[in-house]
Amino acid sequence: MPDRPIAVAMSGGVDSSTVAALLVRQGQRVVGLTMQLWNQRRLPQLQTGESSGRCCSLDDVYDARWVAGQLGIPYYVVNFEADFEEQVVRPFVSEYLSGRTPIPCTLCNNFIKFDRFLEMADSVGAEKVATGHYARIRFDQVSGRYQLLRGVDTAKDQTYFLWGLTQPQLARTLFPLGELKKSEVRRLAAELGIPIADKPDSQEICFVPNGDYAAFLDAYLAEQGVARDAATGEIVDRSGAVLGTHQGVHHFTVGQRRGLGIARGEPLYVIATEPARQRVVVGRGEELLRPSLVAGQVNWASWPPLTRPERAQVQIRNKHVAAWATLHPTEDPTRVQVAFDEPQRAVTPGQAAVFYVGDLVAGGGWIEA
Amino acid sequence: MRHCYFDHNATTPLSPEALETLSVCLAEVYGNASSIHHFGQAAKQRLEQARRQVAALLHARPPEIVFVSGGTEADNLALLGVARPCAGKHVITTTIEHPAVLQACAQIEQEGGRVTYVPVGASGVVDPAAVADALRPETVLISVMHVNNELGTAQPIEQIGRLARQAGVLLHADGVQAAGKLETDVERLGVDLYSVSAHKLNGPKGVGALYVRKGTPLRRQMHGGRHERERRAGTENVPGAAALGRVCEWFQQHGAEEAARVAALRDRLEQGILRRVPAVTVNGDRARRTPNTTNLCFAGIEGEAMVIALDLRGFAVSSGAACSSGSVEPSHVLTAIGLRREQARSSLRFSLGRGNTVEQVDALIEAVAEAAAHLRRLSVEAPTHA
């Protein structure tokens, strides 16, 4: 098919709207698609009346449709709610209940945005897809591989959530905003006449209102008719001495300081959660330090698989400053041992360890317990 | 790109006659039909002419026609107007009704009434015996659609009318998809209430009519002035009603001929697709259908993807019923006739109308064959997707 269209994932926000506008201005044929992922009217007990900054609201669809209309491109809403619940929400809930702190955005990228969405692109006859992510992709002639790089705007860089992309996915994906700063994107949006150039950025996890995971978990489990055991338990120190009680381990995450309800001379932090025993283990700040971690289900986005130890900067949280470490291959090719040069605070099971060399995203994996 | 419209059960393009009537009335007939003066009289004249035209299509008497805002209001007025106050009353309907009827029934239940939803088999045609079995001493109303909007299947209203009369129960038929397409004689059908919508008949949105047999006890649901013989308050939408009257007249004059023409096109489309595309089945009874509709299941293809693929090729069809945005819950009609969820999600509705031609139908067959082959090739290429 000559002149195949580019499928643009349009969320109704400034970034993806600007992507669509940029591609149209370049003379590309563009088809706009909005993924309906979650019904925001579900779990009415979580409704606060304040819906801005949450994806998949009818307002966002309205905005995306408006932009598509302004651009004169074909536009459709595609419904992936069932896949999203299966691939993102359920794993999120079960991870949390297992005492880990999951990142649904990575699952969504791996299984929805760069998988189901690519299938939908196929069905509209599109070879390439474009999204508003702040990241860059280039083809490296030497290695013959596509490479994923941090976005130029380091404050907006989203590669911490994109390490799961595979070579076939990178080959078909365009990130037109990767070379731009957010301020430039807003200016461009205004210049392109995108009517929502002033819309605030979306925040937090799209299906969790106000970032309140515990309330979401409770509401979701109630909707599913899953009876929860009494979730209360003890807060203990490393020696097992009981310091207090809590209302459920899913209210706590490693490194958390607030909400413990324990008065002590020195600040206390959560250093581990033990869902099987319904215990939250707390300790002093230095007890959070870990010299190493094991990353599982590793994906090598840009590098070929590891055959010998390699140096890399490893980022273990979205806002963490990547720290130098040596990556050691293990007998299991999907697992990598990460030995930090300096011990790192709050290595949290369920979060990702992403391996960088400068801007290059070598790969990443899930931090194991 | 030229866009061709094959979604006439969702709505239809405005006919030239309707447009002319609308614009003339909007420009010139602006009086309030309740006013005594010249302007009011002119509006009243126009309104009553429209009432005669609608009545003629339904073989009813003009005073039996109540103008309303559309099919949904007609259905609500019929059901709630008969059932309220609902406590202690029983209503019979089917599982394949339009949401306007199903939600009005839900409201009746909310207000203390009882509703029986008679199931429908794979044919998409309700069995009158099942309706008879659902009768109870406290039954006040049976509501069965004349033609189903998704399948096009015609329901045995005459037989149900006979048993309703024997039981002394009122019968409402939602005729939104039937009027103009099938012979619609309220006497022969034996209905007491019958809903019609203008925009399914190449008329404008926002106007419809409810036939109310003389003597039928009906409480008004819109309160206000004494319009429409106190059955529906609100200043009459004279241009809308006039346009509805005008399209009813057109269908009364040309309906049979147009139905034959459209049926031939529909059959050409259906046979063409069945010949060209493997693993396609027809949903519902092919013999007992309105002439313009075919609902086809394309095994292994997602209906949503197919609608988009056809739209990008310039053809408008629909999967399930039209929705604003959001859920792809499989159509309640298709699951009610026993389709599995994935079959329902693989089904497409093609509904034809006045603008369609042989050339359009042949081009659509080609586009469907192309799109189906493309989508099926993809699902073969990516079998490992979890």
- Tokens 């509805």 belong to B244
Q: What percent of chain A has pLDDT over 70?
A: 93
For A207, other C-beta atoms within 10 Å of its C-beta total 24
Contact assignment for B327 to A79 by CB distance below 8 Å = yes
DSSP element (H, E) containing A139: strand A135-140
Known catalytic membership, residue B25:
no
Contact assignment for A124 to B304 by CB distance below 8 Å = no
**What tens digit of pLDDT does each residue of A8-59 get?**
999 988 999 999 999 999 999 999 999 988 887 788 777 665 544 455 666 7
Q: What was the pLDDT predicted at A246?
A: 87
Q: Quick one: how far is CA A60 from the chain centroid?
A: 20
Kindly report the nearest CA distance between residue A215 and chain B, in angstroms: 24
CA–CA separation, A139 and A147 (whole Å):
6
Residue A363 has pLDDT above 90, yes or no: yes
Average pLDDT over residues B12-25: 97
CATH 2.30.30.280 segments of chain A: 229-283
**What tens digit of pLDDT does each residue of B332-349 get?**
999 999 999 889 989 999
Chain A residue at shortest CA distance from B306? A123
Q: Side by side, which strands form the sheet with A242-246?
A: A242-246, A233-236, A279-283, A269-274
- On chain A, the residues whose CB falls within 8 A of the CB of B345 are none
Catalytic member of B4, B86, B248, B323 = B323
* CATH T-level fold of A289-367: Elongation Factor Tu (Ef-tu); domain 3 (2.40.30)
At CB < 8 A and 24+ separation, what contacts does A230-233 make?
A231/A278, A232/A278, A233/A277, A233/A278, A233/A279, A233/A280
Known catalytic membership, residue A206:
yes
Contact (Cβ atoms closer than 8 angstroms) between residue A281 and residue A273 = yes
Q: Quick one: how far is CA B175 from the chain centroid?
A: 6
Average pLDDT over residues A340-345: 95
Contact assignment for B308 to A124 by CB distance below 8 Å = yes
CA–CA separation, A158 and A172 (whole Å):
18
CATH 3.90.1150.10 segments of chain B: 4-11+255-381
CATH 2.40.30.10 segments of chain A: 289-367
- Is the torsion defined by CA of A82, A87, A92, A98 positive or negative? positive
Contact (Cβ atoms closer than 8 angstroms) between residue B276 and residue B369 = yes
Superfamily the domain A229-283 falls into: Adenine nucleotide alpha hydrolases-like domains (2.30.30.280)
Q: Which CATH architecture has domain B4-11+255-381?
A: Alpha-Beta Complex (3.90)
Contact assignment for B327 to A125 by CB distance below 8 Å = no
Q: Give B324's pLDDT tier (boundaries 50, 70, 90).
A: very low
CATH 3.40.640.10 segments of chain B: 16-251
Chain A residue at shortest CA distance from B384? A115
CA–CA separation, B284 and B150 (whole Å):
10
Q: What was the pLDDT predicted at A231?
A: 73
Contact assignment for A74 to B385 by CB distance below 8 Å = no
Output the average pLDDT for chain A. Answer: 89
Query: Among candidates B29, B14, B27, B41, which has minimal Cα distance to B238?
Result: B29
CATH 3.40.50.620 segments of chain A: 6-132+176-211
What is A6-132+176-211's CATH number, 3.40.50.450, 1.10.760.10, 3.30.1180.20, 3.40.50.620? 3.40.50.620
B85 cis-preceded (ω within 30 degrees of 0): yes
Residue B189 one-letter amino acid: L
**What tens digit of pLDDT does each residue of A271-320 get?**
988 888 889 999 988 889 999 999 999 999 999 999 999 999 999 998 89
3-state secondary structure of A292: strand
Residue A222 contacts B, CB cutoff 8 Å: no
Beta-ladder partners of A78: A35
* Cα→Cα distances A136→A9, A151, A302, A365, Å: 16, 6, 12, 20
Nearest to A122 among B324, B378, B386 (CB): B378
Prediction ipTM score:
0.78
Query: Among candidates B133, B144, B140, B135, which has minimal Cα distance to B75?
Result: B144
Contact (Cβ atoms closer than 8 angstroms) between residue A196 and residue A212 = no
Residues 275-334, chain B, touching A (beta carbon < 8 A): 302, 304-305, 308-309, 311-312, 324-328
Beta-ladder partners of A139: A146
- Per-residue tokens: A325: 């470490």
Answer with the residue of higher pLDDT: B128 or B328. Answer: B128
Pairing of strands A279-283, B90-94: unpaired
Nearest to A77 among B302, B325, B382 (CB): B325
Q: Which CATH architecture has domain B16-251?
A: 3-Layer(aba) Sandwich (3.40)
Q: What was the pLDDT predicted at A55?
A: 58
